[in-house]
Structures are given as structure tokens and as C-alpha cells.
Homo-oligomer: A and B are copies of this chain.
Amino acid sequence: MYNKLIDHIKQNVPGASIEKQIIEAYFTPKIFEKKEHFLMQGYTCTRAGFVIEGCYRNYMLSTEGKEVNTGFGFENWWLGDVSSFVNQTPTLINTQFLESTTLLTITAKNHFDLLERSQCFREYTNKLRSKATTASVLKLSELSESARTRYKVLLEKYPKIQQRISQKQIASFLQITPEALCRLRKFKISE
């Protein structure tokens, strides 16, 4: 199980020497059931998690209280809100599992310690952070496209997403109704 994390570090920091023993000691496995929350708006993010198996969605609440999905995560993704985690302030993000999910978790304090102790974990974290910034900026510009275009882009990026994520959840991510997505699919597929 820990090897999935170590492999992921290797992929992102190629050539670095991995302090395998040190890193592993800091993580605790945890299993969450489908529909459970990892993080909820208003709470402070005390743990980060690395997905060994399963998937989740991030969503926010609009001012009218409607849930809006902001992204999905699968194996080898991290969950937790960086801003809330680093500053120990309340988060605006909700994270809910869409399948029964196995994580390796680490507390904020331990994460901080590990960054001090492990050079390669520091590089790994930096790498992921800058990747995440790019991704979130990208999404903003995509929202100016029509729902049809955004759906097309989504499918190109994650062709397998339909096997894992329900249409209702995908619709919320595209910020359209499930009905609209259903109609979109009919035309999209035949194109």
C-alpha cells in the first residue's frame, strides 16, 4: 500500500533519493465509506490524504446553497484544502467520497515535520502545489465555453470518467442540470 505513495513520489521527483522509511512512518491508513465526508465547509483541514483506491468529489456551496462540484479525484491524488491545512483556518471546500476509499493520511503537524526532515518530500510537495495552481487557473477559463465544449474537453482529458462518476455528479461539475447533460450526450455521441 505504501508503495503506491512512494512510486508517486518517484514519478514526480525523478532521480531523487527517497527517504522511504522516514516518509512511511508519518502516514496512517484510513478507510472511508461511500458518501462519507473527508472535509466540510467551516471546519479546519487537520489531515491531508493520498488516495490508494477509490474516488471523491470536491464541491462548494453557492450563496443559494446549491452544491457545485469543483473537481474529482482518483487513485494517486491528494485530498485536503492546502490553504486551510497550511494556515489552520476554516475551509470553504467539501470533500465527499463517491466510492468506498482507502487513504494514507497525515496530520498537519506531521506534514510540517516531514517537510523539514525529508528533502525529496519537500520537492514532491512543491511540485504538486504548482501543478494544482495551474489546474485551477485553467478551469476558470474553461467556464467561459459552452457546456457542450466543456463536456467535450472533460471527456478528452478523462475518457474513463463516465465509468466512475455518475451523470448527476458530472452535470454538477459542468454546472448544468442532469437533464441538459443527458440531451448533450445524445448529440455528442452521434457526432
Contacts and interface: CB of A to CB of B under 8 A. Distances in A.
Given A82-B130, A143-B143, A175-B144, A137 B87 contact: no
Contacts of A140: 60, 68, 70, 136, 139-140, 143
Contacts of A92: 134, 137-138, 141
Interface SS majority for chain A: helix
Nearest to A130: B83
A93 interface: yes
A17 interface: no
Nearest to A127: B87
A137 B149 CA distance: 22
A63 interface: yes
Interface in A131-152: 131, 133-134, 136-145, 149
A162 interface: no
Most chain-B Cβ atoms within 10 A of its Cβ — which of A62, A87, A137?
A137
B83 A141 contact: no
A157 interface: no
A66 interface: yes
Given A60-B137, A82-B130, 14 more contacts: A60-B140, A60-B141, A62-B141, A62-B142, A62-B145, A63-B149, A64-B145, A83-B133, A83-B134, A87-B130, A92-B141, A133-B133, A143-B143, A143-B175
